[in-house]
Structure 1
């Protein structure tokens, strides 16, 4: 395994309310030096919840996405609050965004998004054994709930508004987990 490069200098070059951009002067073990930039998330991470109903449906949301300036179909997600565990954050976000809590929350995977540039971590959580429970959310408009049958994953993948890589990864990891669970 390669030795991590030495950080010679680290400085903040821009900051927003969500991200901090840093410049890193690095020296690699072979003597090469390079300047890298990275976005450092200012929070504890985030959660994405793949909720499954007793009727064997995924619960998705359709919400406005500023990056594409369009409405996208995705799994509910949100930032973790200070002091929350991954499971607590997932259950809170589920209640805020879809109006359900979950008695069974299973961490599936912690993922990075473009680790060459971002420090942000997204924790994928499978939520089962749902019950009605609503908390006030922070969305600027009501979210559209979409219930999608688990056995129609291929048609979900073909939806033109289901494009977020994290949601696609969550869908496939949940499908694998649920298939293995059903085999026992």
Structure 2
């Protein structure tokens, strides 16, 4: 059974740093009313890049994660700038963070973070046919590059220093896509 979307009676908003916070006055189909809050990030979304060094190896980066005050192993990620497509943003971020560009970029799907209260979306981009190319980035230190075998992602997922959900989801999505398209 598909439920009817709640009626929005009003929306108020205010700035919350890099987000716009909205408060929605909602009425559900059963007559219940509630106030919900949701965050809208400023900008145009983000990319999580799955760069393949070869058919069996993904390139990861190790970078400082302020949220946990540790170094985290994951994918190249970043914001989409005004006027960029997800593919262009993925290639730029790859050049800035890893020192590579890609001739073949493909958006595999778009994933969300906590959709119950946030509208942020991240585009999972598969990057193949890499070539050396560096652009200046905003990282305060060079990121460590870590090649990882695609056949051993399970070991990566159980590491303490690999906990970022977008990286894990993107790697599973890319692995599945590659398996489905291996014979085509």
Instruction: Give me the TM-score of the superposition, normalised by structure 1.
Output: 0.94
Question: Equivalent residues in 2 for 1:62-101 (5 A)?
Answer: 62-101=62-101
- Could you tell me how far apart the structure 2 residues matched to 1:168 and 1:183 are? 25
Which ranges in structure 1 are unaligned for 5 or more consecutive residues? none
- Could you tell me how far apart the structure 1 residues matched to 2:19 and 2:62 are? 25
- Could you tell me how far apart the structure 2 residues matched to 1:118 and 1:140 are? 28
Pick closer, same or farther for the CA change 1:55–1:175 going to 2, 3 Å: closer
3-state SS in 1 of match to 2:83: coil
Is 1:146–2:150 an aligned residue pair? no
RMSD over equivalenced CA pairs, Å: 1.4
Shift of 1:13: 4.2
Shift of 1:154: 2.1
- Could you tell me how far apart the structure 2 residues matched to 1:144 and 1:73 are? 9
Question: Equivalent residues in 2 for 1:118-137 (5 A)?
Answer: 118-137=118-137
User: Which portions of structure 1, spanning 4 or more consecutive aligned residues, are displaced by more than 3 angstroms?
Assistant: none
3-state SS in 2 of match to 1:106: strand
Is 1:178–2:161 an aligned residue pair? no
- Could you tell me how far apart the structure 1 residues matched to 2:127 and 2:117 are? 30
Could you tell me which residue of structure 1 aligns to residue 5 of structure 2?
4
Shift of 1:143: 1.1
Instruction: Give me the TM-score of the superposition, normalised by structure 2.
Output: 0.94
Could you tell me which residue of structure 1 aligns to residue 23 of structure 2?
23
Residues 118-171 of structure 1: CA distance to partner in whole angstroms, max 9, x if unpaired? Answer: 110000011001111111111122211111112222221222111111111111
Q: How many residues align?
A: 183
- Could you tell me how far apart the structure 2 residues matched to 1:167 and 1:104 are? 20
Shift of 1:105: 0.8
- Could you tell me how far apart the structure 2 residues matched to 1:52 and 1:67 are? 28
3-state SS in 2 of match to 1:154: helix
Could you tell me which residue of structure 2 aligns to residue 113 of structure 1?
113
Shift of 1:14: 4.3
- Could you tell me how far apart the structure 2 residues matched to 1:14 and 1:54 are? 44
- Could you tell me how far apart the structure 2 residues matched to 1:5 and 1:149 are? 46
Shift of 1:111: 0.5
- Could you tell me how far apart the structure 1 residues matched to 2:98 and 2:56 are? 16
